[in-house]
Structures are given as C-alpha cells and as structure tokens.
C-alpha cells in the first residue's frame, strides 16, 4: 500500500511567525526541524498501519525545507524547485495526507491564512465555491483517483478540511488566535497526535472516496491588485478577464484548469 504525504509548513506545531517560513533566518532553521520531525511522525503512523511505500512531498515555498539528514529512512522524499506535476509520483497511492496545511485566504483567526500567495491572491473559487489549498490539492489528487485521508494543521484548517472532505481524519496541532498567534501543542505532543491519526487514517483509507469536482471546471481567481491580472495572457475562452482583479479559467478537468491557472 502506497501512501503520499504532501507537506506545508504553516500548519506545523510551533510555527506561527513569518520569520519561521523564510529561508536564512535562525527561526527558519528551527522550523524546518519541526516540519521534518512532524512529517516523520506521519511516516511512522503510516508504517504502523501497513504502508509499504511512502512518498513525502515538500510543498512549501522553494520546495527545499527538509534537512536531508533528518529524513525518515522508510520513506522517499520529493524535494527541490517546484515544477509540474504538482505532486510527482502521486499516481497509484491508496491515500494522501495533507500535513501542516493552513486555512484559505481571509479566514478569521487562522495561522498564516492564504491561498497559494499571501501577496497576490485574495480569493479562489472552484466552480463558484470559495476554496483554499486543501480543496485545491484534494481536487487535483481526486482527478488521479487518490482520496485525501487526513489533514493536519490548526483548528481552522481542520474545520475547512471537514467542510470540503466530510469525515476525513484530522489532527489539530494548534488553535489559531490570529494570523501570527496560536495556542499550540508542544511539538513532541503534536508528533504523537499526528502519528496516531496517520495510523488511523491509513487503516481507513480503503473506505475513502476521492474528492472530485464537477467537469468542466471553472476557476475564478481574484487577485489582491489589478497589476497581477494585467500581466496575464488572455485567449478569450479558456482564460478570460472578468474584471480589474478577477480572471476566469476553464478546463475540461481540474488538472487542465489548474495548469492554465498557474501557467504550467
Ligand atoms: Zn507554505
């Protein structure tokens, strides 16, 4: 049984400040250890439930956040500069874990709420429904027939996961107070929780359905400023400009639409 773990940093226990998410700071050096150790806990949980192939994907920022010497030897790790596909080697997985994820842009009391870009994305709508990275990534995995089986992050990320994915297993490692404040579990306790929940999620993986959005897919993106929309190319049917800050992207399926949205 193959399990895929996609990681982000904002929803990891102990991470709350922008400095922790930016390479080159002492806070970042510590935060990447928090990340990889929580990822290792998810690997341990998946192993305990019978996974015999585990791939961990580094999804934050530059895609190079795991200190290599800390990587759990039972997994293989995808890291390095981002490209397409969004999730290399996802095909054939029995389930996907979204680890360290965060709530969509604009969520109240959520640590580092954003959707893809804090600077330039204000709101993403998938077939009209405001959506964040949890739904976006679940829908991409859904096109490949892979169900999201677990989501970890703060309380807002977990609530968002439940709203989109039903009775998905969640691991709430902190409660958001504000964008840069949280009530957090100690990282050691958070790892215990993640290990337990990952084991439970992998045991239940066979009963989960992929998250699929209706086809054809319409994505609407409202940027924070008109300049981001100004620099795009519009062909008038698959990519259109709806207003100063909003573009509309269409695709025959989710993957085609996301590729157009991201220009990949
Ligand atoms: Zn991130």
- Same domain membership, residue 103 and residue 18: yes
- Same domain membership, residue 232 and residue 179: no
- Same domain membership, residue 45 and residue 83: yes
Q: Ligand 1 center to residue 8 CA distance, Å?
A: 5
Cα separation, 12 vs 238, whole angstroms? 36
Q: Ligand 1 center to residue 195 CA distance, Å?
A: 21
- What's the confidence (pLDDT) of residue 141? 98
- Same domain membership, residue 222 and residue 201: no
Q: Ligand 1 center to residue 238 CA distance, Å?
A: 28
Identify the CA nearest to 11 among candidates 140, 193, 145, 229.
193
Residue 244 near residue 226 (C-beta atoms within 8 A): yes
Identify the CA nearest to 169 among candidates 178, 179, 158.
158
Q: Ligand 1 center to residue 61 CA distance, Å?
A: 6
| 264 residues of the chain, pLDDT tens digit each | 999 999 999 999 999 999 999 999 999 999 999 999 999 999 999 999 999 999 999 999 989 999 999 999 999 999 998 888 999 999 999 999 999 999 999 999 999 999 999 999 999 999 999 999 999 999 999 999 999 999 999 999 999 999 999 999 999 999 999 999 999 999 999 999 999 999 999 999 999 999 999 999 999 999 999 999 999 999 999 999 999 999 999 999 999 999 999 988
Residue 121 near residue 105 (C-beta atoms within 8 A): yes
Q: Ligand 1 center to residue 235 CA distance, Å?
A: 31
- Same domain membership, residue 176 and residue 66: yes
24: domain CATH number is: 3.40.50.10780
- Same domain membership, residue 45 and residue 151: yes
Surrounding ion ligand 1 within 5 Å at CB are 8-9, 60
Rounded to 5 degrees, what are φ and ψ at 253? Answer: -145, 180
What residue numbers bound the domain in which 227 lies? Answer: 217-262
Q: Count Cβ atoms below 10 Å from residue 104 Cβ, excluding itself.
A: 24
Dump pLDDT digits (tens) for 52-75.
Answer: 999 999 999 989 999 999 999 999
Instruction: State the total domains in the chain.
Output: 2
pTM score of the predicted model: 0.98
Whether 139 is in a domain gets the answer: yes
Q: Measure Cα distances from 160 to 109, 127, 132, 185, 187 in Å.
A: 13, 17, 9, 20, 22
Whether 212 is in a domain gets the answer: no
Q: Ligand 1 center to residue 128 CA distance, Å?
A: 24
- Same domain membership, residue 101 and residue 70: yes
Q: Ligand 1 center to residue 115 CA distance, Å?
A: 9
Dump pLDDT digits (tens) for 72-113.
Answer: 999 999 999 888 899 999 999 999 999 999 999 999 999 999
Whether 110 is in a domain gets the answer: yes
Whether 126 is in a domain gets the answer: no
- Same domain membership, residue 195 and residue 244: no
Whether 245 is in a domain gets the answer: yes
Q: Ligand 1 center to residue 140 CA distance, Å?
A: 17
- Same domain membership, residue 150 and residue 47: yes
Identify the CA nearest to 33 among candidates 82, 71, 6, 63.
71
Whether 123 is in a domain gets the answer: no
Helices (H), 81-186: 133-143, 155-165
Q: Ligand 1 center to residue 149 CA distance, Å?
A: 20
Whether 124 is in a domain gets the answer: no
- What's the confidence (pLDDT) of residue 83? 81
- What's the confidence (pLDDT) of residue 82? 80
Q: Ligand 1 center to residue 160 CA distance, Å?
A: 16
- Same domain membership, residue 99 and residue 221: no
- Same domain membership, residue 201 and residue 226: no
Q: Ligand 1 center to residue 6 CA distance, Å?
A: 11
- Same domain membership, residue 245 and residue 179: no
Q: Ligand 1 center to residue 237 CA distance, Å?
A: 31
Whether 49 is in a domain gets the answer: yes
């Amino acid at each position: 049984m193959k399990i895929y773990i996609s990681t982000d940093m904002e929803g990891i226990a102990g991470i709350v400040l922008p400095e922790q998410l930016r390479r080159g700071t002492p806070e970042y050096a510590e935060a990447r250890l928090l990340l990889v150790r929580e990822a290792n806990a998810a690997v341990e949980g998946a192993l305990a439930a019978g996974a015999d192939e585990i791939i961990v994907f580094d999804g934050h920022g530059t895609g190079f956040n795991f200190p290599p010497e800390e990587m759990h030897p039972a997994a293989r790790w995808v890291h390095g500069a981002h490209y397409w596909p969004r999730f290399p080697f996802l095909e054939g997985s029995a389930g996907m874990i979204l680890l360290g994820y965060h709530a969509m842009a604009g969520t109240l009391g959520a640590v580092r709420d954003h959707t893809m870009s804090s600077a330039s994305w204000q709101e993403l709508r998938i077939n009209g429904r405001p959506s964040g990275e949890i739904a976006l990534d679940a829908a991409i995995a859904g096109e490949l027939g892979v169900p999201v089986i677990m989501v970890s992050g703060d309380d807002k990320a977990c609530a968002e996961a439940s709203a989109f994915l039903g009775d998905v297993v969640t691991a709430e490692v902190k409660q958001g107070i504000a964008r840069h404040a949280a009530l957090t579990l100690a990282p050691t306790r958070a790892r215990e929780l993640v290990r337990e929940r990952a084991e439970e999620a992998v045991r239940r993986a066979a009963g989960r359905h992929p998250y699929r959005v209706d086809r054809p897919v319409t994505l609407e993106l409202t940027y924070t400023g008109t300049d981001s929309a100004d620099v795009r190319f519009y062909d008038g049917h698959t990519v259109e400009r709806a207003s100063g800050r909003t573009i509309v992207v269409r695709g025959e399926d989710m993957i085609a639409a996301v590729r157009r949205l991201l220009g990949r």
